[in-house]
Every structure is written in structure tokens, then in C-alpha cells.
Amino acid sequence: MNFMKKKSNFGLFITIIVICLLIGIFIWVDIKRRKPEVFIYFPNHYALVNSDTIELEILSSQKSSPYLISSNISRAEIYDEDTNDSFVVELAKTESGNKITYENDFFYPTLLEIKLPFSSSSVIKMPNAYLRLSYLNGEIKEFSIGSLIMQWSNSQKAFLINKMKGIITMFDEIQTIGGVILNLLNLEDNLITIEKITLISAVAKTNYDYLKILETDDFNIHTPIDELTNSHFNLLAPSQSTHCLITYEAFKEHTLFVPFTYYQKTSLSQIGFIIDYVVNGIKYQQVIEPILLFQNYKMKERIINAN
């Protein structure tokens, strides 16, 4: 009898352990199922010249996130937090990638291709832009884009760009470009006068007060801006001048230092210009398409979706 009783107690003990394990598994699965979805994305400074498309990569902690499936999105728009300007955009394409490891966790990347469905002769500038997505179930989510500038130009090529070197400086702990060393060769057999070298950016502009012709381009990317301007240079101080007058003889070249004034402390690594110039009394423009001049440390944003 004692043996049977012990056997019965042992069986009951095993049964209790199995039930506890099953309950634990169900709880774990339920917690995992209800784990908040995390989005990580990377704001940028978008500079579009004669272009209407930007790309935004979003990492999701969930595979095939319903928030990143285009058929679930009823409306997409871009708006600016500073100016309150907004316009409807088209999600031209969404592409999902394979699982990756980021910050010691697994994420699934989705690339959103966003098309701005219009063109304009005026400049569209958004220093603090967001993508707002509205869903069929009534929810709304917002993702910071960074900044956005769009402009159109009938570009004519009069200059050969021999060199374009970004001068890296710091905003406290933020690494950015404080100006560019630019070597331009006049391709025309006429005298050319440059009237403007406009930085294509929504967060910074050309500082004409300190724009100058250099005797040499023998400077490295970490040369102090004070050394290039021969004065104390403040990246946040506004420029009093709005244009320049730089003449290029036929087939001659100059090396310029083009410094920037920032509207806010941020990191800018992709640089492009629109050059306004005059030949024989006729005004033209040449676009220097935005290019990446140094590898920027991306400033990520994170959303935890508690739903």
C-alpha cells in the first residue's frame, strides 16, 4: 500500500510539474505575442534638385509589420513641424529585407520609397519634416524624416569641378561640415562672374561674409575654420551678405572656401550647390548634385508601439 501511495504521489508531482511548465510556456508565448513593437529609423537631410523621390528605411522588431504594409495605409503625407506646411505623398514602393541584428536585437528592415507628386518653380524647404501615415483602422503614426529641400533648375555646365572637400568641425558632440573647399575651372572662352553659390539645404546656408579665394587647396578635412577664414568663425552666426562677385577668366580656375551658417545644431554630411553665374550679361545656373562628403554618424529615432 505504501508503495502504491508513493507511486501515486510521484505521478501527481510529475503532473503538477508538467502543468506548471505548460502554464509557463503559455504565459511566455502570450508575453512574447504582446511584446510592444519597436521601430528604429534614421532621419536624414534630403536635398532634391530636379528630383521628386526620397527613401526612408525603417527597422521593425516584428516581421511583416502591419504598419509598414502599403495596403494597410490609407493616406501618406509629409509635414513640417516648424512651418506647419504639409502635402500628400505617394508610397511608390515598399521593400522588406531579411532579418538583421541591430543593437544586439533582431529587426526586419523595410525601405519606403516616397514620391512627392508635384513640381514647382519655387523652393520647398522643410527643416523639421515628418512622414505621417494614416491607416485603414484609424490609427496614425509619424516618422521623422529629418529635413527636406526641393528645388528645380535648368542647369548649364560652365565649370569643371576639380575638387570638392568638406571641412569637418564640431557642434558640441555633433560632427558636421563647416564649409567646403571647392576648385572650379572655367570651361568657357569668356569671362564668367559667379553671383551666388547656394548651399542646397534646409538646415544651413552659404555664409558669404567669409567666402574667399584661397591661394592653395593644400588643407586637410580637419583644418580649423578659423584658419581658413583668418578670424573667429561662428557656425550659428547669420551671414549679412546674400551674394558674391567672383570672376573667372577664360579657362582659368580658382580654389574657393565656401563656409556655412547653420539654423540649428545638427550634422550635415551630404553637400550640393546651385551656382548662379553670368556670361556676356546672360544669367545661368549650374547644379552641383548633392554628394556624401564624409560618413555621418546617423541619428536614430525610436518608436515603441504599445498597442
77 is a domain residue: yes
Closest-CA residue to 158 (of 289, 279, 281): 279
- Render pLDDT for 221-278 as a digit per residue (tens, 0 to 9): 999 999 999 999 999 999 999 999 999 999 999 999 999 999 999 999 899 999 999 9
Closest-CA residue to 165 (of 218, 113, 115, 206): 218
Q: Which residues contact 83 (CB under 8 A, 6 or more apart)?
A: 126, 127
Task: State whether 52 and 118 are in the same domain.
Answer: yes
Unique residue bearing C-alpha cell 494597410:
72
- Render pLDDT for 209-225 as a digit per residue (tens, 0 to 9): 999 999 988 899 999 99
Task: State whether 57 and 111 are in the same domain.
Answer: yes
Residues 74, 141: Cα–Cα separation, whole Å: 12
Of the pLDDT bands very low, low, confident and very high (cuts 50, 70, 90), residue 153 is confident
Environment class of 200 (CB within 10 Å of its CB; exposed 0-12, middle 13-18, buried 19+): buried
Give yes or no for residue 21 having a pLDDT over 70: no
Unique residue bearing C-alpha cell 532634391:
48
Predicted structure pTM score = 0.80
* Domain-terminating residue out of 152, 177, 205: 152
Residues 125, 80: Cα–Cα separation, whole Å: 9
Residues 117, 179: Cα–Cα separation, whole Å: 33
Please, which residues bridge with residue 53 across strands? 115
Taking a C-beta distance cutoff of 8 angstroms, is the pair 286, 307 a contact?
no
Please, which residues bridge with residue 130 across strands? 79, 144
pLDDT (mean) for 117-121:
70
* Domain-terminating residue out of 130, 152, 174: 152
Residue 94 is predicted with a pLDDT of 85
- The CATH number that applies at residue 253 is 2.60.40
Please count the structural domains in the chain: 2
Q: Is the model more confident about 32 or about 200?
A: 200
2 is a domain residue: no
**Domain span at 287:** 159-292
Residue 126 is predicted with a pLDDT of 94
Residues 61, 271: Cα–Cα separation, whole Å: 33
